Amino acid sequence: MVVTHNVKGFEEFSKKMEELETGNNAVHVLFSGGKDENGESWCPYCVKAEPVIHDALKKAPDNSHFVHVDVGERAYWKDLNCPFRKDPNTHLIFLPTLLRWKQPQRLDGERCSNKDLVEMMFEDED
């Protein structure tokens, strides 16, 4: 079973990664735009990617972790000094971005809603 975590904002995210990176299992992280009170995200590609990614999660290795990061509101993300953009480990340019923590595997934008590529990401052994 994949262990799923939901965090909100940069501080919660950093703390969660510190906790998870001590383990030996792969950690996949999805960064997406924050949701309003109706559960709707302001980021259309994130909305499109979410069901594809959650469906593909069954392909991820057992005991691996999946962290869904709510990056925050649009204005916060659009600020070029947003910590998610500046952090050398995330270095985000697009939302959504799906990556394997501290590994080369990374998909962004529309590619996050491509089932084939998302599955490849979860299954990739290199």
Residues that bind another protein (CB under 8 A): 103-107, 111, 114, 116-117, 120, 124, 126
Helix (H, G, I), strand (E, B) or coil at 100: strand
- Shortest Cβ distance from residue 124 to another protein (Å)? 7
Q: Which two tokens stand for residue 29?
A: 């992280």
Could you please report the per-residue DSSP string of 21-43? Answer: TTSSS-EEEEEE--B-TTS-BS-
Task: Supply the minimum distance, in Å, between the C-beta of residue 69 and another protein.
Answer: 20
Residue pair 30/98 in contact by the 8 Å Cβ criterion: yes
Catalytically active residues, by annotation = 43, 46
Which is closer to another protein, CB of 71 or CB of 99? 99
Nearer to another protein, 5 or 48 (CB): 48
Contact 53, 98 (CB under 8 A): yes
64 or 105: whose CB is closer to another protein? 105
